[in-house]
Amino acid sequence: MKTLILGGGIGGHVTANLLRKKLSKEHEVLLVDKKTQYEFSPSFLWATMGWRKPSQITRNLSALEKKGIKYVNGEVSNIDPSTKTVKTSAGEFNYDYLVVALGAELAPYAIPEMSGVAHHFYELEASMKLKDAVAGFSGGAVAIGVSSTPFKCPAAPYEAALLLDYHFRKRGIRDKVSFQFFTPEPQPMPVAGPRIGNMIRQMLEMRGISYHPNFKLATVNGAKRELSFEKGEKIGYDLLVAVPPHRVPNVVKDAGLTDGAPYVPVDKWSLKTKYDNVYAIGDVALVKLFDGMALPKAGVFAHAQAKVVAHNIAADIEGGEKVKFDGKGNCFIETGFGKAGFADGEFYAEPRAVNIKKPSISRIWHWEKIWFEKYWLWRWF
């Protein structure tokens, strides 16, 4: 049997590793990614802050070969579930089981003039460009926020604002910098509930960051350095940092996997798509929660879903009990000053239970995140 895994990010990488361990040698595990390197996104903001070099948070995907996983460096251009074939720039492959883990694509072009004008930290290269822009910034108006929903890691833009505030304080120029945070969301991290949202909003405001919820970005005017929002509001800026719009990759849509939904609808327990033996995990998948909200796009879920899918494909092939994805996840919230918060939640619970762990903001969580980064990269590469 051959399992083809599309995407070597968090979800695809973990699936490939676990499946290889669980299956006997006669079964093939093949992973395709257009990149040659894996980049550890939870550390991108640390790279922007100058706390990590790219070499510390990237790993070669060719390392998969040593584990008996066939790695193909190629771009997926067509997925045909009817013939069970996938076309890539490095050839065509057939499969018995397919795991689609192609993530969400960044689409800055969806907002007029955003490309090339707004900085972001959603790719390693962009995070390094933002690092240079921040280092060269000596004062003025910072506009930071979210251009549209959904986006990966609901906490990341809030962490970015707090870390930039910390950076300018350390440089002694905070009094020369004003901060406006904009987002189409009604509150920070709506899926986490009003208590956590209020806590983050208060944290921003205590640090002198003005918070503008329900501000849906319409256009960026790079010449005037001005943002326009759908209800007519305007925000001027000297430095613009905006989470770009996200999209499902076209190749996934063209395969008929989305059925008109923004991402790939899957069974919330098994991550099965509507096609036989085709799974979608991580950011590319759409998991609806009991109240209609979507499970956030986060690595912690991509990882947990990968475990379930690897286990169940192996159980199908070799026999054994199946397991279910339980919707549990957690996230760190970096706040600067060497501190962080930590939230964990049961996203399938009704009502959802998301809690901030005590101590609410502490050095402990910051150290825990450092440990997690080191452990994750060691464990999976």
Ligand X SMILES: Cc1cc2nc3c(=O)[nH]c(=O)nc-3n(C[C@H](O)[C@H](O)[C@H](O)COP(=O)(O)OP(=O)(O)OC[C@H]3O[C@@H](n4cnc5c(N)ncnc54)[C@H](O)[C@@H]3O)c2cc1C
Contact residues for ligand X, defined by CB under 6 A: 7-12, 32-35, 41-42, 44-45, 75-76, 101-103, 121-122, 152-153, 156, 249, 251, 282-284, 297-300, 302, 331-332
Residue 109's CB: how many other CB atoms inside 10 A?
12
Q: Which is nearer to ligand X, 203 or 286 (CB)?
A: 286
Cβ 59 to ligand X shortest distance, Å = 12
CA distance linking residue 214 with residue 232, whole number of Å: 12
Q: What is the DSSP letter of 287?
A: -
From CA 29, how far away is CA 285, in angstroms rounded? 21
Beta carbon nearer to ligand X, 44 or 347:
44
- Residue 229 or residue 372: which is nearer to ligand X going by CB? 372
Give min distance, CB of 39 to ligand X, in A.
Answer: 8
Q: Pick the closest to residue 239 from 218, 222, 219, 217 (CA basis).
A: 222
Q: Give the Cα separation of 18 and 123 in Å (integer).
A: 26
Smallest gap from Cβ 25 to ligand X, in A, equals 26
Q: Say how far apart CA 254 and CA 170 lie, in whole Å.
A: 49
For ligand X, give the closer residue by CB, 234 or 353.
353
Q: How far is the CB of 176 from ligand X (least distance, A)?
A: 26
Q: Mention every residue, 6+ apart, whose C-beta is less than 8 A from residue 346.
A: 326, 327, 328, 352, 353, 354
Q: Which is nearer to ligand X, 237 or 380 (CB)?
A: 380
CA-nearest of 149, 160, 211 to 185 is 149
Alpha helices in the chain, H assignment, sequence order: 10-22, 44-48, 63-66, 124-135, 156-170, 194-206, 250-254, 299-318, 363-380
Whichever of 76 and 239 has its CB closer to ligand X, that residue is 76
- Count CB-CB contacts under 10 A for residue 74: 16
**Distance in Å, CB of 280 to ligand X, minimum:** 9
Q: What is the spatial distance between Cα 190 and Cα 196, in angstroms, rounded to a whole number?
A: 9
Looking at beta carbons only, is 12 or 197 nearer to ligand X?
12
**DSSP code of 192?**
G
Q: Half-sphere exposure of 264 toward its Cβ, with a 13 Å CA cutoff?
A: 31
Closer Cβ to ligand X, 153 or 217, answer by number:
153
